[in-house]
Structure 1
Amino acid sequence: MEDKEYLEETKDRDEGGKAVSEEAGKTPVKDDDEYEKICYVCRRPESKTGPMVTMGGMNLCHDCMQKAFDSVTQGGFDLSKIQNMPYMNLNLSEFGNLNNQDVEIPKKQKIKKRTPEAKKPEFDLKDIPAPHVIKQRLDEYVIGQEQAKKVISVAVYNHYKRVFLVDSDKRDDEGNVQIEKSNILMIGPTGSGKTYLVKTLAKLLDVPLAIADATSLTEAGYIGDDIESVVSKLLAAADNDVDRAQRGIIFIDEIDKIAKKKNTNSRDVSGESVQQELLKLLEGSNVEVPVGSNQKNALTPMTTVSTDNILFICGGAFPDLEDIIKERLTNKSSIGFAAELKDKFDKDPNILGRVVNEDLRKFGMIPEFLGRLPITVTLQSLTKELLVRILKEPRNAILKQYEKLLELDEVKLVFEDDALEWIAEQAMKKETGARALRSIIEDFMLDIMYEIPKDPEIGSVVITRAYLDKNGGPLIRMRGYY
């Protein structure tokens, strides 16, 4: 009887003897239940290793457990034989207190468990914008480059139809038609809108976008970023959601900087070797990348990302490519009535539109790399008229940004047409495309943005060409002036 009373008295007490409520006695649902277990040694998730063994607060996969037992049975216990074993130089007695340590892996480095209910198609055929819809949205942000926008719209539309077909039918039936990947190569002078086009495209389609610089990439094992780092950036942009990342867009800028180096005796680890390493990504392969980090190490969990459905867009300015194109065109016939004049193509604004793979190979791109970029898009240099339109027409035009800034001070900003032409003329001299516009406007708007807030009676400011030529000042009107 006394034993029964003792059990009734102690059933609501914890191991330390403290009284706990009935609700507190229930096993709480941990927030970590939605995340996979990560092996303490090899850092692989449970989906890769299978069920794990938990000991002393550590999760260990069966492979690492077997290696540990082998090291014990073969010549004593030697942790150095266990690959990637962290903390191997610490006192082993410290591991007995792991349960009492408040140590957590950051959530951004954890991998969410995949449940059948969570697997939903990212795209439905009816949700894919038609090419003319994509181009209309691009027109709102990008001025000019009509042919380039049309080519990109069709290429992206066909690519995501291919993604939809792969998701809807994964069987290899004889009647199925396998659609190949259509990666894009963009060629255009600096400031012509290559990066801006891709950013607008990703925003329109609501897909993750990763922008990488080819100049930082080197062959694996050398100083610099590995090729897999571009996939790591895409995974981070997708909030570590592997399924969403596998339908994203990767834009590799400055692709012309990895052309083969001419007349070099050293190993070309940042040129031709990078092109060779990129082949597997462009074609489609499974890549092991770290989660929540750009560096592979023993403490970072790894996951596998397939690049089969990732759209790769490579862009570059390709300086001096025009000279290679002109040389090929003028060498077709150098004598007789059919001979081409040497200066016939010197002033051709559409000279880049005549590019062929032969020109790119002569520039330094290897044939295998070009073969995996079947769609070539060329962007033209911006003319004075296009620069004026870029200043005022896009949805987030530079002038609209300054008008909004002064509007917050209840001041109206107006630019005369002659002033816009002056800005475009100065930008043409800099030869950096649309990038030159902001630097020019920032220069002459500095004094205005500094002086206007001083006088609350100012109602509007008109920028004139005389002010830009330093032959006068802006036209200022006070409030109540009609």
Structure 2
Amino acid sequence: LLKILEGAVVNVPPQGGRKHPHQEFLQIDTSNIMFILGGAFDGLGEIIKGRQTKDATSIGFNSISKPTEEELADFTAVEPGDLLNFGFIPEFIGRVPLVVGLSDLNHEELIQVLTEPKNALVRQYEALFKMDGVELEFSKGALDATAELSHERRAGARGLRSIVEELLVDVMYELPSMEGVKKCIIIKEAVTDNAWPQLLDADGNRLDGDLPDGKHTVAA
């Protein structure tokens, strides 16, 4: 990456890989390209906190409490030396002049990821259910519980997909064989207690009597 970052004419395989050694390469000048590098950097927070603790001790603050897990993730205080201790080579660090620490997504932001983008997870599954003639709805409690579970797993926005898939995989399998279902409401208990979603017919009546074996739901 060093040559690419500092600005040079580099050869890039048009197929995006080197599986075809005899292919012609495209030449791209990276001098005017801005590169944004990102990652989770697991363990970097501990390095930062260790440096801060050492600095505080060296100026007389000897009573330093053991850092919590949240404190270990303070990337906003990152310095070039921390990246060096993390394992980056000095030549690489020197070519990245600006380093910005980002905080974890909070509860409200996780819900925004679930619902607001054009290709949000909720909208994707709404479209899939619509193909079977069923309207999908997530209750506010279900959205809150999904965001909270992702936060507990420390999985961030990427963890939302696995949680939603866990919620809906059985429902999507069973719905085509269930008659009269026009609406499926994902409730909070579906996230927290493995409850079955609320299924409604065209008149808004509950269809609890048609639940698959071993499944349960809760009252509205």
**Normalized against structure 1, the TM-score is what?**
0.38
Alignment of 1:118-197 (within 5 A): none
Cα distance between partner residues in 1 of 2:87 and 2:54: 20
Residue 434 of structure 1 corresponds to 157
Report which stretch shifted further, 281-290 or 335-344.
335-344
Cα distance between partner residues in 1 of 2:21 and 2:130: 54
Gaps of at least 5 residues in structure 1 are 1-277
Cα distance between partner residues in 1 of 2:170 and 2:80: 50
Deviations 1:390-444 (A, max 9, x none): 2223232111111122223332212222222222233233322222211121122
Partner residue of 2:145 out of 416, 422, 431? 422
| CA spacing shift, 1:388–1:297, aligned 2, 3 Å | closer
Residue 190 of structure 2 corresponds to 467
Residue 285 of structure 1 corresponds to 8
| CA spacing shift, 1:285–1:400, aligned 2, 3 Å | same
Is structure 2 residue 92 aligned with structure 1 residue 379?
A: no
What is the deviation of 1:327?
Answer: 1.1
Cα distance between partner residues in 2 of 1:280 and 1:419: 48
| CA spacing shift, 1:399–1:339, aligned 2, 3 Å | same
What is the deviation of 1:366?
Answer: 2.1
Residue 476 of structure 1 corresponds to 199
Partner residue of 1:362 out of 80, 85, 96? 85
Is structure 2 residue 39 aligned with structure 1 residue 316?
A: yes
Residue 325 of structure 1 corresponds to 48
Instruction: Find the structure with the greater CA-based Rg.
Output: 1
What is the deviation of 1:289?
Answer: 4.5
Cα distance between partner residues in 2 of 1:404 and 1:293: 32
What is the deviation of 1:456?
Answer: 5.1
Gaps of at least 5 residues in structure 2 are 206-220
Residue 453 of structure 1 corresponds to 176
Cα distance between partner residues in 2 of 1:413 and 1:344: 43
Cα distance between partner residues in 1 of 2:57 and 2:136: 57
Partner residue of 1:444 out of 167, 170, 178? 167
Alignment of 1:242-257 (within 5 A): none
Q: Counterpart of 2:133 in 1: which secondary structure?
A: coil
Cα distance between partner residues in 2 of 1:436 and 1:281: 32
Residue 65 of structure 2 corresponds to 342
- Conservation of the 8 A alpha-carbon contact between 2:138 and 2:187: yes
What is the deviation of 1:358?
Answer: 1.1
What is the deviation of 1:472?
Answer: 4.3
Q: Counterpart of 1:457 in 2: which secondary structure?
A: coil
Residue 413 of structure 1 corresponds to 136
Cα distance between partner residues in 2 of 1:308 and 1:380: 31
What is the deviation of 1:321?
Answer: 0.8
What is the deviation of 1:343?
Answer: 3.1
Deviations 1:92-134 (A, max 9, x none): xxxxxxxxxxxxxxxxxxxxxxxxxxxxxxxxxxxxxxxxxxx
Deviations 1:181-210 (A, max 9, x none): xxxxxxxxxxxxxxxxxxxxxxxxxxxxxx
State the aligned residue count: 205
Alignment of 1:397-408 (within 5 A): 397-408=120-131
Cα distance between partner residues in 2 of 1:288 and 1:311: 18
Q: Counterpart of 2:35 in 1: which secondary structure?
A: strand
- Conservation of the 8 A alpha-carbon contact between 1:289 and 1:296: no
Cα distance between partner residues in 2 of 1:412 and 1:329: 53
Equivalent position amino acid for 2:199 in 1: I
* Structure with bigger RCO (C-alpha 8 Å, 6+ apart): 1
Residue 212 of structure 2 corresponds to none
| CA spacing shift, 1:420–1:353, aligned 2, 3 Å | same
- Conservation of the 8 A alpha-carbon contact between 1:345 and 1:351: no
Equivalent position amino acid for 1:481 in 2: G
| CA spacing shift, 1:349–1:405, aligned 2, 3 Å | farther
Cα distance between partner residues in 2 of 1:391 and 1:293: 31
Q: Counterpart of 1:331 in 2: which secondary structure?
A: helix
Residue 217 of structure 2 corresponds to none
Alignment of 1:3-22 (within 5 A): none
